[in-house]
Structure 1
Amino acid sequence: MVDVVGRLRELEAGAAKDGRVRREDVLELFDSLPPVRVEELAGTWRGNGIATGNPFDGLLERFGWYGKRFSGPEDAEPLLFRGKGDRVVSINPAFMPVGLMLGIADKLNSPVVAKLFRLLMPLMTTAKPRARLRMVEYRGVSSAAMVYDALPIHDPFRKVDDDTLLCAMDLRGLDAPFLFVLRRDAA
């Protein structure tokens, strides 16, 4: 049996070292992982992308992405960011123009744009859940996924271990998924 935690670490290290890894290698690992049930997701999760050449690689991290929070099937916060004083805040995804971002992702790699996002962040925060958790079939396996309320996005999850998920952001109009990892926040 392959050590999936070790394989995930290899892929993350390869992406950090060389700038990216082959999407096919990450998807091969994703496809080998077992499904996760909705009730296993409760809590706050820290996120990081895996660079595979996707237009979204590094984009969320540039703006201070923290991760996601799941309080129940009807109560998911899809976009947590670090706000003032290092406080974690929930952003309403309806304010994130993902279609536009997809077209100009390379131009968003700027300290000026990141600073502008930080200035506007208080106007985009929300105390309401903006997504739901559902069992969704993706790549032939039924597993828990986060379904956004206002955007054509769902994030299918696969279980690496009890505290680690490999995830695929499936967005209408995106040729290949944005791949990322969620790790349960111990705090």
Structure 2
Amino acid sequence: MKSFARSLILAAAVAAMPALAAVQVKSAKFEDNLQVAGQNLVLNGAGVRVKIIVDVYAAGLYLPSKVSSEGKALNTAGAKSMQIVLLRELTGEKFAEAMIDGFKANNSDADIAKFQPKLDQLRNLMLTFGTVKEGTVIHMTSVPGVGLRVSVNGQQKGSEISGDDFYKAMLKIWLGEKPVDSDLKSALLGGN
């Protein structure tokens, strides 16, 4: 009888424990919550960017609240963040080229022309990364009223790139009509 009571107490204690506060995607870990400029963001979804058959990076999208459509994700007000964890070594130049190609594939010619100085600023910032090792964590965060802030392993790189509209256009790399990886897009929007 005592062991039955002990088992019930143990089961109740385990049930009362909070769920694990992270999502594992390949070797990358994504916390359920992220704080940006005093605002709590939740992990909307996470997945893997695959190019041909190679896992390039794992990515997680953080928003003020969970959404399941690209329109809601792109138009959500407030802070947002993409966390990218490299699953292979990559140069800053290759990373920048891929980002700019994805940007151009998902934005109009007018938007590309409008944002060209900011794209150049982002490219130059990424070139300072040098060779980025497997496991490196890159955050591309929209700070309301400030702009795009890029950090590598928790250290901010360069100065912010102003404009909330630029961040929205940049998110289309992953969430636009021609995303860099359609399975990743689905995962970032909470799909499997």
- Is the pair's TM-score, using the shorter chain for normalization, greater than 0.5? no
The TM-score, its normalising length taken from structure 2, stands at: 0.30
Determine which structure has the larger helix proportion and give its number. 2
Larger Rg: 2
